[in-house]
Structure 1
Amino acid sequence: MKLKVIDLDISSGSTPVAIMNESDARKLDAHFGDRISIRKGQKRAVAIIDVCPNKRIVPSGKIALFKEVISKLKCKPSDYIEISLEKKPDSVMMIKKKLDGAVLSDSEIRQIVSDIVENKLSDSEISYFIGACYIKPLTFQEIVSLTKAMVETGDTIAFEPPVFDIHCIGGVAGNRTTPIVVPIVAEAGLVIPKTSSRAITSPAGTADTIEVIAPVSFGISEIKEIVKKTGACLVWGGDVSLAPADDKIIRLEYPLGIDSQSQLLASIIAKKKSVSATHILIDIPVGKGSKMESMGKAKALREQFIKIGKALNINFEIMLSDGSQPIGNGFGAVLEMRDVLRILSNSTSQPTDLREKSLKMAGLMLEMSKKVKRGQGYALAKEILQSGRAMQKFRQIIEAQGGKVPKEEELKLSKFSYIFCAYNTGRIVHIDSALISQICRLAGTPRDKAAGIYMHKHVDESVNVGEPLMTLYSSSREKLSEAIELLKNVGFSTVVIK
């Protein structure tokens, strides 16, 4: 069948898509979600079809193509292209096999991941794979296979071992330890090429926070040059194709809040393996409101990391930390960078919880490196921080990335603000990280880097009625009003006073 091209000039996002008129689809015996082979001369593309009954939008004899197909075929409006039905990829049947509860082989998982990366699977098909792994958790060998496949189907950055990295599994607002730990351990001589993510559900990700003072988007050769100069980097992983299948899976997990343990393990380890990491510190926050609410589950996850690490020649150190409340004073990119600068400059107004956690993490990494004996890492990390050497290294890293370290007070907050005060006298027994994140995002984070929440009080502190608990910031009066409305509705649950 030959059809005339309509260029929609719209991107589908990833999977190639074409829209056919209903009568043409009927002649081809094609249905919504089927695949078609599209040829123009020697060029060929496979697209998933949508069927349009409206002849004014897609007339009979024409086919509307999204940007991905237009780009691959190098065709233009009014070109004629050849259409034929295409069979589904074998990986679709492998996904069905997993839905039925079967254990997949290494080659089957490799095929599924490869097809995800090459845009051969639709979002719905990938979602079924995610659902299957959630309902029927992967075996140990399946997790190893998934991790390897994610690494092998993306780019890798080669560094001479040993290479160090850190990761927190998330679920706690603030907790901006990375920009503090990285310069401490880099100053001690460890190589730590840190690639970080942007916020998905939190007020800010590490990349969002660093972007307040420096560029974070770099290619592989640029990252290697920064690490060569400074021993470290603090960059966004999204500009390099490290474990790209993972990025697609995360995007589809988000709407339902699915975060299966097997995919979490593969996701984290694949990203670290892609930057040649040989020694990794994993922070698992434990407590009410975090991803790991029970110590039993946290310890089980710890054992999984260690077991998979042995299979992939990676040394893991696992830290089980307090995840029952937010860490730090500020939540939102600028506010979190203010916390970081206060700690690195040894300010009297630094958040002590974030400082202590960062020193503990840095100390464990120094012990992993054998720079010091077990039990002596914290003291060395503290000396590097208090001497100002950590700030010097941080400045070196930021300048190598084309940025500049400002004074903390030079980082301006949003112009609209609201102070939420204690609703009774007593002691704070709980602060809910998830609600803090929801309120911040209504205020405009992470896009509005100057928005967020500054906490004046923390768990176990005493407060009097009417005393400020937190200040909410937003660059938009409307967004601030929405955030205030939510805060007023859930304030008793956000900060529990007894």
Structure 2
Amino acid sequence: FHDGDRIVVRKGKNEVVAIVDISENKRLVPPGRIALFDEAASALKCANGDLLEVELEGKPTSVVFIRKKMDGKELTEQEIGQIVRDITDKKLSESEISYFIAACYMRPTTLNETIALTKAMVETGDTIKFEPPVFDLHCIGGVAGNRTTPIVVPIVAEAGLTIPKTSSRAITSPAGTADTIEVIANVSFGVEDIKRIVQKTGACMVWGGAVSLAPADDTVIKLEYPLGIDSQSQMLASIIAKKKSVSATHVLIDIPVGKGAKVNNILEARRLGGMFVKIGKALGIKFEVMLSDGSQPIGNGIGALLEMRDILRVLAKKPNAPADLREKSLRMAGLMLEMGGKAKRGKGYALAKEILDSGRAMKKFTEIIEAQGGSVPDESELKPGKFSYTFTAYNSGRIVHIDSQKIAQVCRAAGTPKDKAAGMYLYTHVDGQVNVGEPILTLYSSNRDRLEAAVALLKNIGSDLVVIK
């Protein structure tokens, strides 16, 4: 074998495709031995001293198709299907998959390519069957905080609709819904456990990556994170494939619009919404699109633990609950209740508000969390990272902009999403009046060095992160 060769390594029925590195250190890897990374060894279920079969493997044909996409040419359904199968079967290296991600980012896919990508992601993974109708929701992201799902899901489930919510972990944001729920409950379940939880409570809030729902998508997400990109075609395919995999028949999509969001104008938001509707129709899913304000963060807490604290404050009707998070959650829940026939058009908001204000939403939320092996604490018990820094107003005036993308940069420097206690707490929002020296936000981390790095970044970009005039 030569350095860079692609090989198949087998032990019994288990096999992995790997790229060869030649070691010159005979003490580290003696002649006749092969060293494996933990991931490969785990997939093979092998231990030190086991006998392995090694065979030279040619480059998969999907490499040619990736190069074709890099050249700006449209891929066929069969070519995209082969790429996705090779990603799922681990026949492509991480660098080759990264080239595919970059190609789709630089040369956006057509509608037909996106439909083919979505179908391939579904077909190469498991599906969870539920009796229709099945409801789901998704926000395309790009807005700091904005953790509406854990409030919407119990409201919708309490009204009698089935809503099995699978979520991704954060890609470019400080936290994803799965990261946030994991602060108080388990989110990693197999297919049968998910069915059991949904049968018991009418809902779940789990991590889609723990089961093989569109597994190629999870590989793509893992590689998108260090690249810091989230291409629109892959976002569409990712979202819709996950919905199809849980038998969703009706889906509400939230598209935040505004400066600093992923979509910064209404025309682009409507175009994207139309893509969801068209691709959904091709897969038998009815999408409803909601446009929302994406020009500033929603809620006060940003980062898994701080977002969970906001959620509990809203569900428990605490006086310090963020009004914007409550209002948006009620609007979304109301639309879903109308989609499900639980309320007439225009009457869903009032029903959602009654379910929340009566305490029934908190009761249902507790049922779901306990079914997932967790418990619901009082929000005051959730303590952010022990190292903190408060950023104050650099002059007096009105806040005219708070940049979600720059917030994400600072929070990632502080340790999010892996450090669940890291993040940021906002004391004010756009249109708020501040005096020089008044606290605007506090940054948290569990690690002193990470906090210092985040503070250095914050001091450098703070006047762009929070614009005061």
Q: Distance in 2 between matches of 1:39 and 1:369?
A: 50
Q: Distance in 2 between matches of 1:84 and 1:418?
A: 55
Q: Distance in 2 between matches of 1:81 and 1:475?
A: 42
2:324 corresponds in structure 1 to 353
Aligned counterpart in structure 2 of residue 407 of structure 1, from 378, 381, 397: 378
Q: Does 1:211 pair with 2:182?
A: yes
Q: What displacement does 1:496 show?
A: 0.7
Q: What displacement does 1:387 show?
A: 1.4
Q: Does 1:430 pair with 2:413?
A: no
Q: What displacement does 1:405 show?
A: 1.5
1:249 corresponds in structure 2 to 220
Q: Does 1:299 pair with 2:265?
A: no
Q: Does 1:367 pair with 2:338?
A: yes
Q: Does 1:486 pair with 2:457?
A: yes
Structure 2: state its 5+ residue gaps: none
Q: Does 1:393 pair with 2:364?
A: yes
Q: Does 1:330 pair with 2:312?
A: no
Q: What displacement does 1:393 show?
A: 1.0
Change (3 A) 1:194 1:87: same
Q: What displacement does 1:80 show?
A: 6.9
Q: What displacement does 1:70 show?
A: 5.3
Q: What displacement does 1:444 show?
A: 2.9
Output the amino acid matched with 2:262: K
Q: What displacement does 1:34 show?
A: 2.6
The farther-off stretch of 484-493 and 33-42 is: 33-42
Output the amino acid matched with 1:98: K
The farther-off stretch of 332-341 and 185-194 is: 332-341
Aligned counterpart in structure 2 of residue 192 of structure 1, from 163, 167, 184: 163
1:128 corresponds in structure 2 to 99
1:258 corresponds in structure 2 to 229
Question: Over residues 345-395 of structure 1, what are the superposed CA-to-partner deviations in whole Å (9 max), with x where a residue is unaligned?
Answer: 222211111111111111111111122222111111111111111111111
Change (3 A) 1:220 1:41: closer
2:420 corresponds in structure 1 to 449
Change (3 A) 1:416 1:79: closer
Q: Does 1:48 pair with 2:9?
A: no
Secondary structure, in 3 states, of the residue corresponding to 1:193? strand
1:12 corresponds in structure 2 to none
Output the amino acid matched with 1:330: G
Change (3 A) 1:66 1:303: same
Q: What displacement does 1:46 show?
A: 4.5
Secondary structure, in 3 states, of the residue corresponding to 2:22? strand
Structure 1: state its 5+ residue gaps: 1-24
The farther-off stretch of 252-261 and 176-185 is: 252-261
Aligned counterpart in structure 2 of residue 270 of structure 1, from 225, 231, 241: 241
Q: Does 1:117 pair with 2:112?
A: no
Q: What displacement does 1:62 show?
A: 4.8
Secondary structure, in 3 states, of the residue corresponding to 2:20? strand
Q: Distance in 2 between matches of 1:76 and 1:463?
A: 61
1:172 corresponds in structure 2 to 143
Change (3 A) 1:258 1:453: closer
Q: Distance in 2 between matches of 1:388 and 1:73?
A: 49
Change (3 A) 1:85 1:333: closer
Q: Distance in 1 between matches of 2:463 and 2:228?
A: 25
1:21 corresponds in structure 2 to none
Output the amino acid matched with 1:107: Q
2:128 corresponds in structure 1 to 157
Q: What displacement does 1:220 show?
A: 1.1
Q: What displacement does 1:309 show?
A: 1.0
Q: Distance in 2 between matches of 1:409 and 1:74?
A: 44
Change (3 A) 1:71 1:360: closer
Over aligned residue pairs, what C-alpha RMSD do you find?
2.3
Secondary structure, in 3 states, of the residue corresponding to 1:417? strand
Q: Distance in 2 between matches of 1:105 and 1:366?
A: 39
Secondary structure, in 3 states, of the residue corresponding to 2:437? coil
Q: Distance in 2 between matches of 1:397 and 1:89?
A: 44
Q: Does 1:475 pair with 2:440?
A: no
Q: How does 1:38-77 map to 2 (within 5 A)?
A: 46-54=17-25, 57-58=28-29, 62-67=33-38
Q: Distance in 1 between matches of 2:249 and 2:391?
A: 46
Aligned counterpart in structure 2 of residue 138 of structure 1, from 109, 124, 127: 109
Q: Does 1:97 pair with 2:65?
A: no
Q: What displacement does 1:254 show?
A: 2.7
Q: Distance in 2 between matches of 1:340 and 1:42?
A: 46
Question: Over residues 437-464 of structure 1, what are the superposed CA-to-partner deviations in whole Å (9 max), with x where a residue is unaligned?
Answer: 2222333333332332211111001111
1:88 corresponds in structure 2 to 59
Question: Over residues 314-342 of structure 1, what are the superposed CA-to-partner deviations in whole Å (9 max), with x where a residue is unaligned?
Answer: 01011111111111011122221111111
2:196 corresponds in structure 1 to 225
Change (3 A) 1:448 1:96: closer
Q: What displacement does 1:221 show?
A: 0.9
Given that residues 134 and 163 in structure 2 are in contact (C-alpha distance below 8 angstroms), is that contact kept between their aligned partners in structure 1? yes
Given that residues 168 and 177 in structure 2 are in contact (C-alpha distance below 8 angstroms), is that contact kept between their aligned partners in structure 1? yes
Question: Over residues 418-474 of structure 1, what are the superposed CA-to-partner deviations in whole Å (9 max), with x where a residue is unaligned?
Answer: 322211111000011122222223333333323322111110011112222112223
Aligned counterpart in structure 1 of residue 388 of structure 2, from 410, 417, 430: 417
2:431 corresponds in structure 1 to 460
2:311 corresponds in structure 1 to 340
Question: Over residues 242-299 of structure 1, what are the superposed CA-to-partner deviations in whole Å (9 max), with x where a residue is unaligned?
Answer: 1110111122223333322211111110111111111111111111111112222211
Q: What displacement does 1:222 show?
A: 1.0
Output the amino acid matched with 1:195: T
Change (3 A) 1:469 1:394: same
Secondary structure, in 3 states, of the residue corresponding to 1:50? coil
Given that residues 171 and 228 in structure 2 are in contact (C-alpha distance below 8 angstroms), is that contact kept between their aligned partners in structure 1? no
Change (3 A) 1:438 1:348: same
Aligned residues between the structures? 469
Change (3 A) 1:252 1:79: closer
Q: Distance in 1 between matches of 2:312 and 2:292?
A: 23
